[in-house]
Amino acid sequence: MSVAVAAPIQAGTWAIDAAHSTVGFSVKHLMVSKVRGTFDTFSGSITIAPDGTPSVTAQIAVDSINTRNEQRDGHVRSADFFDAEKYPTATFVSTGVRPDGDDYILTGDFTLKGVTRPVELELEFNGVNPGMGNGPVAGFEAKTVISRKDFGVDIEMPLEGGGVVVGDKITITLEIEAGLQA
């Protein structure tokens, strides 16, 4: 099914501007709070077909994780979690988009730690701005929740009184600015 995104976005390839975008996440810690972090190295593009249908590809360097705690980040890079040395990149390739009220659902294949699974992202198109002399920019926000265990990140760290140190559900939040390529 082909669904066009809001009409004001011009056909062409829009490159994600990492300096003005964020790839963030949160996960339950000790069953009562959340640890939040970002991936500081990522890239991608959004290609808008002449009929307005988008396709998205993105890559995330998993070793660029930043939770503001180097010891924790090192552990998450290890084979216990991401095994970043063996699987340095997480990827997303869209497979479709459909309307959801005023917003959209972007479907695609997400690969993490060598495991590929379909995901759905709640997508908000924030519009297009003429930019600051380098051509138009478009803004998007997207969110999804994945199970880390579905992607082979299945470390169990049980607590004495029940529960686990690290929750299974990971909320991924994207704030993306992309520029139209000439």
The Cβ-side half-sphere exposure at 156, using a 13 Å CA radius, reads: 4
Tell me which H or E stretch contains 35.
strand 33-39
Dihedral (CA of 64, 70, 75, 78) sign: positive
| Rounded Cα–Cα distance for residues 34 and 46 (Å) | 31
- pTM for this entry: 0.90
- Residue 7 domain flag: no
Place of tokens 């995901």: 119
Three-state SS annotation for 61-106: EHHHEECCCHHHHHHHHCCCCCCCCCCCEEEEEEEEEEEECCEEEE
Total residue count of the chain as it appears in this document: 182
Report helix, strand or coil for 19.
helix
- Residue 2 domain flag: no
Report helix, strand or coil for 20.
helix
- Residue 97 domain flag: yes
Assign residue 163 the CATH number of its domain.
Answer: 2.40.128.110
pLDDT at 33: 76
| Rounded Cα–Cα distance for residues 65 and 38 (Å) | 6
- Residue 130 domain flag: yes
DSSP letter string over 120-169? EEEEEEEEEE--SSS--EEEEEEEEEEEGGGGT-----B-TTSSBSEEEE
pLDDT at 114: 96
Label residue 134 exposed, middle or buried (CB < 10 Å: 0-12, 13-18, 19+): exposed
pLDDT at 53: 87
Place of tokens 């290609």: 47
pLDDT at 159: 63
CB 43 within 8 A of CB 64: no
Count of structural domains within the chain:
1
pLDDT, block means (10 residues), the chain with 182 residues: 57 96 89 88 96 93 96 93 96 96 96 97 94 91 95 77 75 96 84
Domain hosting residue 112, numbered range: 12-180
